[in-house]
Structure formats: C-alpha cells, structure tokens
Amino acid sequence: MSATPEGDRIAKVMARAGLCSRREAEAWIADGRVKVNGQKITSPALNVTDRDDIRVDGKPLPDKEKIRLWRYNKPRGLLTTAKDPQGRPTVFESLPKELPRVVSVGRLDLNSEGLLLLTNDGELARRLELPATGWVRRYRVRVNGTVEVSHLNELRKGITVEGIRYGSVQASLDRQQGDNAWLTMSLTEGKNREIRKLCGHFGWAVSRLIRISYGPFQLGNLETGQVEEVKGKVLKDQLGIETPKNKPHEREQPKPTERPKILGRLTLKPKPKHKPKPARKPDADRRRKS
C-alpha cells in the first residue's frame, strides 16, 4: 500500500494564498504559467509543501494572509467574472481599489442583484459553494404571471426541467398585483440560472431577482454597490475560522483615562485625600459641661 503523498495539491495551495480560485489555478497550470522548483508543470496532480518554491508568471506566491470575508450588494448589469471577452463591466472592476484580490462565493448572473459574498481565500470560496454545506440561498423574485398554489407545491416536491432534475425549492407567494407577483424562494443547490429556469417552466417571466441571504449572511440594509467586511467574531462563530491576533507590539495601548472636570453644567471638584479630623474642644469647655 503506497503512502499518502506529503503536502497539499498545488491548486489548493495557490487558492489558499488568495491568488485565485482552485479552478482558475488548474487552468493557469494547464497554460504553463506555474513553476515548481524551477520546473514548469502542466498538471495539477502534484502535491507541494512549504519547502517547495512555487512561482506563477515568474513571481513567488504571496504570503498567506488571514482569511477575510465581505458582503457585497451587487447591482444589476455586472458580470460575476474576472474578465469578460466582450468587454462588459464586471463585479471586480467595480469594487473599491483598497480591497485585496478577492474571489466570489458562487455567482449572480448579469441581471441578478443582491448579496454576493467575496473572500480573499479561494479554498474557503469553494467550500462555501458546495451543496454539502446545506446553506440556504434565499431570493425575492418578481415575475410576470399568475402564481397558483399548485405551482408552489410542485416546486417543494422538486421538478425536472429540460432533462435536469431540480431538488426541493421552498417558495411562497408574497403578493399578487394584477399580472405581476412577488415570491420568496429558498434553495440549497444553486444550479446555473436555476430560479429563472424554474419560473420559465411555469410561464413566469422574471423581471427582478434579488438574493437576500446566503446561509447565515444577510443582505440587510447594505446599499447597492456597497461592500462591508464580516467581522472576525462572526467568522469564528459561523465558520469556525480563527483570525490571528495582533502581535504584542502591534496592539493598541490603552489611553490613560482623564477624569472630566465638567459634566453638563455640574463642575466636579477633586475630593481631598484625607478627611480632616474635627478640632478638639478646650479642656475648660469639657469641664464646664461636666
């Protein structure tokens, strides 16, 4: 029986370094852009360790940073891709310049909007995309058409559309106004254009599709186009990710507290250190009383 190879797969290591996703790493390797210990590789079937010299386009891998995650309210009209051959605007071109290189957790198509998670760790992105996580993706959907209870029951049971089997989708009718209706739809698989295809199966034309949550992360009051980092405590609670603490010399030193002299209209006077003792009465006074 052969021993388990030491280290991790090269594509996984590249993804963990925040350079790209694992899928992108495999493509870069196939294109001959990656060298290990001076030798060009063309297959991702290679395990590497910290002792190996890995270079992409002649540059060493960046030092591994702490894992970070952001919530982004994606506007309509942006592609969730690093580069579009047709030159259409992309999510990554619209992000603030101060953000590090990030990858998306899943995708939202050109005309979809709402919550898109971004991370600097490609391996985390891949893990959060897997249906095995059991995370529910929830959407608000506006359709043109009449929604019947029977349609919603079919979605809950799971249906087959154009030869593709879709699992159970929890759907509820929020409002029917004339020919238009608002639905809330929840699913765990997230197949390509799943909601649009399911709605099309019933003859509903989707006019708006907004993702409002992805697992425990909510769109909330995030404005369109706004990016907000998820706090380290939330990453630990929801994903079990420990964020490294600052080194002792990097920690903020507590500022000395100064006692305020004035609170509103009340002036505080410093208290005396020792309470003065009452003056002793003369002996004559004491004898007179006795």
Q: Which of 53, 57, 109, 174 is catalytic?
A: 109
What CATH code is carried by the domain that includes residue 190? 3.30.2350.10
Contact 141, 207 (CB under 8 A): no
What CATH code is carried by the domain that includes residue 80? 3.30.70.580
pLDDT digits (tens, 9 = 90+) for 190-243: 788 999 999 999 999 999 999 999 999 999 999 999 999 999 899 888 888 765
Contact 225, 75 (CB under 8 A): yes
User: How many CB atoms within 10 Å of residue 63?
Assistant: 7
pLDDT digits (tens, 9 = 90+) for 128-184: 988 888 899 999 999 999 999 999 999 999 999 999 999 999 999 999 999 999 999
Q: Which residue has the tokens 């992000």?
A: 95
83, 53: one domain = no
Alpha carbon distance 112, 141 (integer Å): 10
Closest residue by Cα to residue 129 from 141, 116, 139: 116
Angle, helices 122-129 vs 22-30, to 10°: value is 120
> 1 lies in a domain?
no
User: How many CB atoms within 10 Å of residue 288?
Assistant: 8
Is 283 considered catalytic here? Answer: no
The answer to which of 17-26, 78-87, 108-117 has the lowest mean pLDDT is 17-26
DSSP one-letter string for 100-128? -S-EEES---TT-EEEEEEES-HHHHHHH
Contact 57, 25 (CB under 8 A): no
113, 159: one domain = no
pLDDT digits (tens, 9 = 90+) for 61-108: 887 778 899 999 999 999 998 888 898 999 999 999 999 889 999 899
110, 143: one domain = no
199, 176: one domain = yes
106, 124: one domain = yes
Strand-pair partners of 70: 118, 229
> 15 lies in a domain?
yes
pLDDT value, residue 251: 43
Q: Using only C-alpha atoms, what is the Rg of the chain?
A: 31
165, 115: one domain = no
47, 177: one domain = no
Tell me the backbone φ, ψ of residue 200, rounded to 5 degrees. Answer: -60, -30
Confidence of residue 2 (pLDDT cuts 50, 70, 90): low
The count of structural domains within the chain is 3
51, 70: one domain = no
- Structural domain containing residue 36: 8-60
Contact 117, 80 (CB under 8 A): no
Secondary element (H or E) of residue 26 = helix 22-30
Contact 47, 10 (CB under 8 A): yes
pLDDT value, residue 275: 54
Across 110-133, average pLDDT: 90
Residue 206 DSSP SS3: strand
pTM of the model: 0.69
Looking at residue 3, the DSSP 8-state letter turns out to be P
Contact 19, 27 (CB under 8 A): no
